[in-house]
């Protein structure tokens, strides 16, 4: 997979691509991540990329020219262009699975007060990571990339994510490690029993219980809703 990110603040991604699982995925050639500065595509002699909004209003708006030229240079037949915006569809684990099957993704990070409406004409998908506002699309872009890259073959073991939260619309079950008794808080006996069938049943029961308590909206979408 190849991921191209268009941003006004490329240095924000330095740590993201040089640490932990993402770094290893890049080094092992499971994914290629390229960070592009939108200003590099500006035709303005001062590399201007924003201007005031027609009709007035607060803040600056990203101009279409640099974004159009960047996307046109990077886009291939197999590319999908994603715009990070609070107006997009709310992101989900299911969408992460869908995007992880693609060959090439171009992510546009919005900033300032917004972006010229005409930019939407070259976008395939608009994504929001929640009903709140950030100063730009860089942090959401990192979240999207992280959720996708970890699902690529060979990045982490499949067992690591098959029973995670949101698979089958259930939250994850509780997990424990040593010691078995910490300050009077004991690990459930079933997890120490070695009885795999009982352990699996316990974990599923805990997933259903936890989802019912914390995210009943998810449980209604699952196969375990009564």
pTM of the model: 0.82
pLDDT of the chain, 226 residues: tens digit per residue: 999 999 999 999 999 999 999 999 999 999 999 999 999 999 999 999 998 888 877 788 899 999 999 999 999 999 999 999 999 999 999 999 999 999 999 999 988 678 999 999 999 999 999 998 898 999 999 999 999 999 999 998 766 555 555 567 888 899 999 999 999 999 999 999 999 999 999 999 999 999 999 989 888 777 665 5
* Vertex 178: Cα angle to 175 and 181 (nearest 5): 95
What residues contact residue 42 under an 8 Å CB cut-off, 6+ apart?
A: 48, 49, 65, 66
Whole-angstrom Cα distance, residue 2 to residue 103? 6
Burial class (CB in 10 A: 0-12, 13-18, 19+), 84: buried
The architecture in CATH of the region 2-149 reads 3-Layer(aba) Sandwich (3.40)
Residue ranges covered by each domain of the chain = 2-149, 163-219
- Could you confirm whether domain 163-219 is CATH 1.10.10.10? no
């Amino acid at each position: 997979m190849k991921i191209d990110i268009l941003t006004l603040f490329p240095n924000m991604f330095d740590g993201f691509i040089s640490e932990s699982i993402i770094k290893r995925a890049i080094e092992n050639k499971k994914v290629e991540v390229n960070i592009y500065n939108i200003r590099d595509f500006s035709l303005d002699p001062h590399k201007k990329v924003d201007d005031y909004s027609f009709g007035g209003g607060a803040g600056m708006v990203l101009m279409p020219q640099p974004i159009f030229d960047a996307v046109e240079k990077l886009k291939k037949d197999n590319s999908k262009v994603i715009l990070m915006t609070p107006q997009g569809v709310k992101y989900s684990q299911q969408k992460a699975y869908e995007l992880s099957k693609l060959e090439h993704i171009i992510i546009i990070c919005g900033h300032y007060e917004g972006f010229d409406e005409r930019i939407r004409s070259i976008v395939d998908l608009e994504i929001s990571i929640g009903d709140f506002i950030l100063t730009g699309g860089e942090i959401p872009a990192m979240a999207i990339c992280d959720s996708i890259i970890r699902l690529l073959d060979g990045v982490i073991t499949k067992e690591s994510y098959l029973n995670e939260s949101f698979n089958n619309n259930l939250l994850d079950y509780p997990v424990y490690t040593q010691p078995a008794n910490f300050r009077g808080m004991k690990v459930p006996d079933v997890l120490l029993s070695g009885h795999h069938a009982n352990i699996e049943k316990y974990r599923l029961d805990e997933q259903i219980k936890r989802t019912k308590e914390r995210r009943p909206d998810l449980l209604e979408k699952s196969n375990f809703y009564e």
